[in-house]
């Protein structure tokens, strides 16, 4: 299969979620990703209570399309083997504590002299410089420090984390963009470069366009839950069968569409609701009226009438509903075979390319599975690992 990054060699020294997710994206597009683990393995292998043949579910979710080796970077032989691989790599990705790669002889300044075409991506929690450079960083800590939690939740709940590891994932996506940008620049200049990214910076960057709002007003956006500061209605409402539905009307046209679909055309002419400004002024009354209306029918009935009317809506689906949706089953879910037996489903890469489609070629590797293949039989610097 013709893949966009075929022939690209990626040396992956990352662990946990952010770095592995970024390198997995490269692997999905055909890059040869070599995952380098310490003798104890990526801690994500042991994270969580759900495992398959010894590998944690979270590890299995972000490490497909990689070859796995074990190198002890505390040993001279391990560092020598890592250096040999780095000299042949197109991309190196690491998320060690700042300074550790320099001690191991794998720092950017040293490697770029030996491999000037190398794109070297460093991912950190709080940045490689400054007083917090060695501070431990986890997703929820970064959500707190970046301000993401400050605008998540309601006034009653107080600040909340998101329901998924937002800072981990947004950092991984930005890192992937950075790597691909540096590779494109290399096509013109012939030179690699360092791509430096912190989880904190990526999470703060993700809050655009609220940055301009804050600069112009000096106000922190309020915690509004499912509501929107400039749109009413923009909220979830409970249906008769105890389900929830998201309703949005971005202008008067869609307000009229919604009113007709609800058999409540009289609301269109009500001066409290007739215009956007009036609905904003009377937010609580709008929510109260819609809450009463949506409580009169079950979700399936509302789905039919709102869809037929062309309203802006979305039912709040459960995970079983999402992952049994025909589109999701046919397009996004792929079954992967674990190297020791058993199978599990993963979400396929959502990018659809007409000429160079992504592909899931292999399951996440066992610890040290490809040592001989990558380093050669009897290569020094790595322990014997069964499997």
Give the domain CATH number at 142: 3.40.50.10540
- What are the residues whose beta carbons fall under 8 Å from the beta carbon of 260, sequence distance 6 or more? 268, 309
Q: Is 165 inside a domain boundary?
A: yes
Predicted pLDDT of residue 296: 98
Both 249 and 116 in a single domain? no
Does pTM top 0.75 for this prediction?
yes
Predicted pLDDT of residue 331: 95
Q: Closest Cα to residue 233, out of 285, 192, 189?
A: 285
Predicted pLDDT of residue 377: 52
Both 118 and 155 in a single domain? yes
Predicted pLDDT of residue 169: 97
Predicted pLDDT of residue 1: 75
Q: Is 3 inside a domain boundary?
A: no
Active site residues: 168
Q: Is 340 inside a domain boundary?
A: no
Predicted pLDDT of residue 2: 85
Can you tell me the distance from the alpha carbon of 317 to that of 244, in angstroms, rounded to the nearest whole number? 8
Predicted pLDDT of residue 204: 97
Both 188 and 263 in a single domain? no
Q: Is 84 inside a domain boundary?
A: yes
Both 40 and 169 in a single domain? yes
Predicted pLDDT of residue 383: 41
Both 17 and 58 in a single domain? yes
Domain count, the chain: 2
Can you tell me the distance from the alpha carbon of 29 to that of 23, in angstroms, rounded to the nearest whole number? 10
Predicted pLDDT of residue 342: 93
Instruction: Please give the structure tokens belonging to residue 51.
Output: 């495992």
Q: Is 305 inside a domain boundary?
A: yes
CATH of the domain at 241: 3.30.1540.10
**Structural domain containing residue 289:** 234-321
Q: Is 342 inside a domain boundary?
A: no
Q: Is 356 inside a domain boundary?
A: yes
Both 178 and 251 in a single domain? no
Query: What would the pLDDT profile of 349-362 be if each residue is shown by its tens digit?
Result: 999 999 999 999 99
Both 168 and 27 in a single domain? yes
Both 122 and 177 in a single domain? yes
Both 66 and 195 in a single domain? yes
Predicted pLDDT of residue 376: 84
What is the DSSP-derived secondary structure letter of residue 102?
A: H
Burial of 264 (C-beta count, 10 Å sphere; 0-12/13-18/19+) = middle
Both 145 and 292 in a single domain? no
The segments of the chain whose pLDDT lies below 50 read 378-387
Query: What would the pLDDT profile of 209-247 be if each residue is shown by its tens digit?
Result: 989 999 999 999 899 999 999 999 999 999 999 999 999
Q: Is 302 inside a domain boundary?
A: yes
């Amino acid at each position: 299969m013709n893949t966009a990054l075929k022939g690209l060699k990626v040396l992956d020294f990352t662990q946990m979620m952010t770095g592995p997710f970024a390198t997995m994206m490269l692997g999905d597009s055909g890059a040869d990703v070599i995952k380098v683990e310490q003798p104890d393995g990526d801690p994500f292998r042991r994270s969580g209570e759900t495992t398959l043949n010894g590998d944690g579910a979270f590890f299995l979710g972000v490490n497909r399309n990689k070859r796995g080796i074990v190198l002890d970077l505390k040993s001279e032989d391990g560092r020598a083997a890592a250096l040999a691989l780095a000299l042949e790599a197109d991309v190196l990705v690491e998320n060690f504590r700042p300074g550790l790669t320099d001690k191991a002889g794998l720092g950017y300044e040293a490697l770029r002299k030996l491999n000037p075409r190398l794109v070297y991506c460093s991912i950190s929690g709080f940045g490689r410089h400054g007083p917090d450079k060695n501070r431990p960083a986890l997703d929820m800590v970064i959500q707190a420090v970046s301000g993401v939690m400050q605008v998540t939740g309601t006034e009653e709940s107080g600040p909340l984390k998101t329901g998924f590891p937002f800072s981990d994932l947004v950092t991984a996506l930005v890192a992937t963009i950075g790597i691909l940008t540096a590779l494109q620049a290399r096509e013109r200049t012939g030179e690699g470069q360092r791509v430096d990214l912190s989880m904190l910076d990526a999470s703060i960057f993700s809050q655009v366009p609220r940055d301009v709002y804050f600069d112009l007003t000096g106000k922190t956006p309020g915690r509004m839950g499912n509501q929107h500061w400039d749109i009413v209605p923009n909220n979830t409402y409970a249906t008769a069968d105890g389900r929830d539905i998201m309703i949005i009307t971005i202008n008067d046209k869609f307000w009229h569409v919604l009113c007709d679909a609800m058999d409540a055309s009289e609301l269109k002419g009500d001066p409290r609701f007739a215009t956007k400004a009036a609905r904003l002024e009377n937010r609580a009354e709008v929510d109260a009226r819609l809450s009463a209306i949506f409580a009169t029918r079950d979700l399936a009935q509302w789905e039919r009438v709102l869809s037929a009317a062309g309203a802006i809506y979305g039912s709040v689906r459960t995970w079983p509903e999402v992952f049994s949706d025909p589109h999701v089953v046919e397009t996004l879910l792929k079954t992967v075979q674990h190297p020791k037996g058993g199978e599990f489903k993963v979400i396929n890469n959502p990018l659809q390319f007409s000429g160079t489609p992504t592909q899931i070629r292999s399951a996440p590797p066992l610890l040290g599975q490809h040592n001989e293949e990558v380093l050669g039989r009897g290569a020094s610097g790595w322990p014997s690992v069964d499997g």
